Amino acid sequence: MSVYDRLEEMGVVLPEMTPPAASFAPWVRTGDLLYLSGHIARRDGGPWVGQLGATLSTSQGREAARRAAIDLLGTVHAATGDLGVVKQVVKVMVLVNSAPGFIEQHLVANGASEILEGAFGSAHARSAFGASQIPFGSCVEIEAILQVA
């Protein structure tokens, strides 16, 4: 089954790549590694604003991470022209806009990991961090490193 078939089975529609909002490249490829710049969670056409543990629940954060990962896949498709060239997701870093005392960043990050594992069929290395602020007040930002053919 192709990655596109798995995404369709999960009900995921790939978005067009969101252009960067600042002075950076959305991806850089070196050899067989594709480095993806941070992708913020988006909702209703703009940043999904909020802070986990204050204005957003863990389940809302998990959905935000899921959406950011889907946007990330749109960028991978733009960078490669074919998600089928992805050999593996190597590393994912998830930043979670967290109120003091919020300790469920790992559960928020699961939203992204489930999309990526479902699409590519294997686990990846991951870090999840609490941050006091993310650009635009977004609740989640995700970056990744992928191995490609």
Band of pLDDT at residue 107, cut at 50, 70 and 90: very high
What region does 28 belong to: left with phi over 0, alpha with psi -120 to 50, or beta?
Answer: beta
CA distances from 75 to 93, 146, 149 (A): 16, 12, 16
Q: How many other C-beta atoms lie within 10 A of the C-beta of residue 61?
A: 30
Per-residue pLDDT reduced to its tens digit, 37-89: 999 999 999 999 999 999 999 999 999 999 999 999 999 999 999 999 999 99
Of the chain, the percentage scoring pLDDT greater than 90 comes to: 96
At residue 102, φ and ψ (nearest 5 deg) are: -75, 125
Band of pLDDT at residue 24, cut at 50, 70 and 90: very high
Cβ atoms of residues 136 and 47 within 8 Å: yes
- Rounded Cα distance between 86 and 104, Å, is 29
Tell me the mean pLDDT in the region 132-147: 97
Band of pLDDT at residue 9, cut at 50, 70 and 90: very high
Band of pLDDT at residue 21, cut at 50, 70 and 90: confident
The domains located in the chain, with CATH, are: 27-148 (3.30.1330.40)
Band of pLDDT at residue 145, cut at 50, 70 and 90: very high
Q: List the beta strands (DSSP E) in 2-116.
A: 27-30, 33-40, 42-43, 46-47, 86-97
pLDDT of residue 3: 97
Type of residue found at 71: D
Tell me the mean pLDDT in the region 81-101: 98
